[in-house]
Amino acid sequence: MDIYKCEVLCIGGGGGGVTAAITAAKCGADVILVSKEPLGYGDTRISMGLMSCPGIVKEDGVNVFLQDLLKSGEEINDKKLARIMAEKASDAVGVMENFGHLFNRDKKGIISSEVTYFSGGHSQPRTIECPPGGGIAIGNSLRAAAARSDIRVYEEVAVTKLLCNNGRVAGAVCYNIITGEISLICAKTTIIATGGAGWLYYPHTDCAAGVTGDGYALAYEVEAELIDMEQVQFIPFGLTYPPSMVGIYVGEPSLAAPAGVLRNNKGEVILEDVCKMNRAEVSKAMALEIKRGGGTENGGLLLDLTPNLSLEEGKRLWKARKNRGQLDIVRFAYGNKAFNWEEPWDVLPTAHYFMGGIKVDVFGRSNIPGLYATGQAMGGIHGANRLGSVSLAELFVFGVIAGDAAAKESKDVELPDLIPGSKEAVAELAQLRGQKGHHTPIQLHRRLQKVMWEKVGIAREEKEMRQALTDIEEIKIASESINIPTQTSYNQEVLHAIELRHMIVSAKLVTEAAVIRQETRGAHLRLDFPEKDDINWKKNIVLFKEKGELKIRVEAVNG
Amino acid sequence: MEQEVSIEILRYDPQKDKEPNWQKYYIPVVKKNTVLGALQYIYENIDATLAFRYGCRFNRCGLCAVEINGRPRMACNTYLKDGMRVSPLTKLPLIKDLVIERNNIFNYLANHELYLSQNDETKSLIIKESEQGARLRSCMECLACLSACPQFFYGDQNFAGPYIFVKLAQLYFDPRNTNDRRKQAYLLGITRCQSCQTRCYCPNGIRIYEDAILSLA
């Protein structure tokens, strides 16, 4: 078995992980980055490439943006983190362009108000874009910048467990998906940048296949605290068929253009002015109608954009979206009439982003010494709802902060010669291959995902969620009897078994937090508590492991 | 009886197979099903040892590039048709079934300096990017172009292949670039493209020959 040593270990090959790794290396640290996919092929790449850049129009500024973040987050944002987000968001452009990326500019070559537009929920135009590739171009830049930097990159390597020494995170057990080799990385500091857990809701997610909540589980198992895990953003418009494309993103409320409406299976209009509402509001209205039995045969509702064709602005928006390639997927899945907005088409909310995550301070530090988090893996910035185009900026703002802080801390830390528990952890991972049991890992993935979608999805109630907790426990027991062939190279079932463990932990964290929050706030919709309850619940839910048990603390909002 | 379509997949497990062999599977008919849908169906219901990559499920990540009926395609945006034959991208080392080596590609980027030289002052720069440059930025890095290129052979020091030429052209068109990318392209064998009769192929519609090769050669 190979043992690697470094000062800063970054887990995750998207915008957050690459930024943190490059920043730490620039600060002089010896850095290893491990990525479960080839570097830069995850959620950052598949994003639309839209980014918040406040301050372009003169009415906009740090405080205006901060107020938008807090309003959208329904006042449970970590205010210190939200302020940093607002203050530094405009720096993110520089970080990304330094990596090689380029945002759209006006004819003079400047990022000006001409190339900046309104994104849903923002009070000022501050979203910039980078067509035609969108996030794909960002993925290209991440790879180029990582190649330029003095970091060691290990691709297609999954982390199965973090190891502690005297209460401090000191290393990680890794599995190489290509070769089947197990390795140990000893690190003075570790940054989790594994993204969210959208895959808990597969197929109802637009996230990449590797987004299985690994970071949440890794952090939880070493007793780090997580915050507001119930806040899962469902973006309103995902596809409902064909099977391999269910859940894929087609748009947010602004897609509806001025005249777009939502209809139920009887053709009745259930929502007007869709384009003026935020993601949570539209997803909620859709979930309620579907619960009432208004869903189509594919389980969705009908997005009727036809009224736009009789409006100049509507026609202009159709053309703009068509030219941007945003509607290609609609044509592929639903055909030409849908593509041309000449007939209504099926849509269903899809899991997009986790506002919750690992609880960190303003340096990206968790409560466990040596452990940091950044990007979607960290929680608190967005409170109960995230505004569109903020998450890309978040990666580059907080990636720099965590990378810088971890590199500095590493200078004062000694690596232990031997991390306690490492032999046992490696042996346990080695036993996975060749296990004989009753289930394949992928079957249990699907069982868990069905439970999460049906019982802890968009519209929630206590009875169903209690049942979900029982179901999750049963799946956990079943996961102890899995069948995995012995092959070493690209044994997908080993990877899926590792992911299954992380998903079970993440699913439990989401569900426990969702049961506790007895109110409706932001993305968290409780059918049994339909009102917002500021007196009892303008608070954060903190989850952590203590003596092997999941514990929950409800606390006042930070800042 | 439920209707089915058949699909053949070139299977290879380096630990037990001497060479790749075709295997046939039957998939229930589903409207507008994709090749990726079929691969997922096989993995989940028929044979969980099937190895393939995918990420985004529609045309953004580039991970599910395979050959379908002998042509490089994305499995996610190819409708499934009866009798299709699916095999891994050629020209790159085969790991298992439809999974080819991708990790060494990252080392290419470092070895050939396929990045902008460090400059911390880009934020306020006035930058005018050409349309060609912008178009090339949508390269999904799926590596299908290497599979389709008759000149490219893995490990050939004298010819880097279309993926690298697209990278070089991205940089060539970048107003911030300070290296001689045409010279690099020359040293990496781009002249071979001038006499080549086969059209470069990109599943995402990048005009590799027009926008990249002709600009650099």
- Residue A10's φ and ψ, nearest 5 degrees, are -105, 125
What pLDDT, on a 0 to 100 scale, did the predictor assign at position B20? 96
Task: Decide which of 3.30.530.20, 3.10.20.30, 3.30.565.10, 3.40.50.300 is the CATH code for B4-100.
Answer: 3.10.20.30
Task: Provide the CATH topology of domain A433-532.
Answer: Methane Monooxygenase Hydroxylase; Chain G, domain 1 (1.20.58)
Query: In the beta sheet, which residues pair with residue B24?
Result: B8
What average pLDDT does the structure give for chain B?
A: 94
Q: So what's the ipTM on this one?
A: 0.96
Task: Decide which of 3.30.470.30, 3.90.700.10, 3.30.750.24, 3.90.550.10 is the CATH code for A237-349.
Answer: 3.90.700.10
Torsion of CA A181, A187, A191, A195, to 10 degrees: 10
Q: Mention every residue, 6+ apart, whose C-beta is less than 8 A from residue A394.
A: A16, A85, A375, A376, A381
Element (H, E) at A504: helix A492-516
Q: Where are the domain boundaries for CATH 1.10.1060.10 in chain B?
A: 103-216
Inform me whether the C-beta atom of residue B173 falls under 8 Å from chain A C-beta atoms.
no
* B residues 68-127 lying closer than 8 A (beta carbon) to A: 76-77, 95-97, 99, 101-103, 105-106, 109-110, 113-120, 122-123, 125-127
- The CATH superfamily of A2-231+353-410 is FAD/NAD(P)-binding domain (3.50.50.60)
> Whose structure tokens read 């439970």?
A451
Domain ranges across chain A: 2-231+353-410, 237-349, 433-532
Contact assessment for residue A251 and residue A354, using Cβ atoms and an 8 Å cutoff: no
Per-residue pLDDT band at B122 (split at 50, 70, 90):
low
Q: What is the DSSP string of A34-91?
A: EESSSTT-SHHHHS---EE-TTSSTT--HHHHHHHHHHHTTT-S-HHHHHHHHHHHHH
What pLDDT, on a 0 to 100 scale, did the predictor assign at position A440? 95
* CB-neighbour burial class of residue A220 (10 A; exposed 0-12, middle 13-18, buried 19+): buried
Q: Mention every residue, 6+ apart, whose C-beta is less than 8 A from residue A484.
A: A432, A433, A434, A435, A441, A491, A493, A494, A497
What pLDDT, on a 0 to 100 scale, did the predictor assign at position A416? 87
pLDDT surpasses 70 at B1:
no
Residues of chain B in contact with residue A143, where contact means CB-CB under 8 angstroms, are: 106, 109, 141
B61–A242 C-beta distance less than 8 A: no
CA distances from A347 to A178, A238, A259, A337, A524 (A): 37, 5, 17, 15, 20
In this predicted model, what pLDDT tens digit does every residue of A149-204 receive, in sequence order? 999 999 999 999 999 999 999 999 999 999 999 999 999 999 999 999 999 999 99
What pLDDT, on a 0 to 100 scale, did the predictor assign at position B148? 96
* Residue in A266, A312, A261 with CA at minimum distance from that of residue A292: A266
Token pair for B199: 């059209």
Residues of chain B in contact with residue A443, where contact means CB-CB under 8 angstroms, are: 44
Inform me whether the C-beta atom of residue B131 falls under 8 Å from chain A C-beta atoms.
no
Per-residue pLDDT band at B6 (split at 50, 70, 90):
very high
The mean pLDDT value for B141-155 works out to 96
Please, what's the b/e burial string for B63-94 (b: 16 or more CB within 10 A of its CB; e: otherwise)?
bbbbbbeeebbbbbbbebeeebebbbbbbbeb
Q: Where are the domain boundaries for CATH 3.10.20.30 in chain B?
A: 4-100
What pLDDT, on a 0 to 100 scale, did the predictor assign at position A326? 86
Q: Say which of B34, B115, B120 has its CB closest to residue A244.
A: B34
Per-residue pLDDT band at B120 (split at 50, 70, 90):
low
The mean pLDDT value for B111-134 works out to 82
Does the global pTM surpass 0.95? yes
Residues of chain A in contact with residue B105, where contact means CB-CB under 8 angstroms, are: 38
Contact assessment for residue A388 and residue A253, using Cβ atoms and an 8 Å cutoff: no
Residue ranges of chain A with per-residue pLDDT less than 70 = none
B44–A210 C-beta distance less than 8 A: no
* CB-neighbour burial class of residue A269 (10 A; exposed 0-12, middle 13-18, buried 19+): exposed
Does residue A38 have a cis bond before it (omega within 30 degrees)? Answer: no
Closest residue of chain B to A144, computed from CA coordinates: B115
Percentage of chain B with pLDDT > 90?
A: 88
> Which of the residues A130, A199, A202, A244 would you substitute to probe the B interface, choosing the one with the greatest number of B C-beta atoms within 10 Å?
A244
> Which of the residues B30, B43, B44, B57 would you substitute to probe the A interface, choosing the one with the greatest number of A C-beta atoms within 10 Å?
B57
Cβ contacts from A onto B, under 8 A: 181
What pLDDT, on a 0 to 100 scale, did the predictor assign at position B124? 60
Domain B103-216 = CATH 1.10.1060.10: yes
Axis-axis angle for helices A79-99, A135-148 (nearest 10): 80
Q: Say which of A108, A244, A440 has its CB closest to residue B48.
A: A440
Cα angle, residue A103 at apex, residues A101 and A106 outer, rounded to 5°: 145
- Residue A317's φ and ψ, nearest 5 degrees, are -65, -35
* A8: Cα separation from own chain's centroid: 23
| Cβ neighbours, 10 Å, residue A519 | 18
- Residue A157's φ and ψ, nearest 5 degrees, are -120, 125
Closest residue of chain A to B131, computed from CA coordinates: A132
Token pair for A396: 């580059």
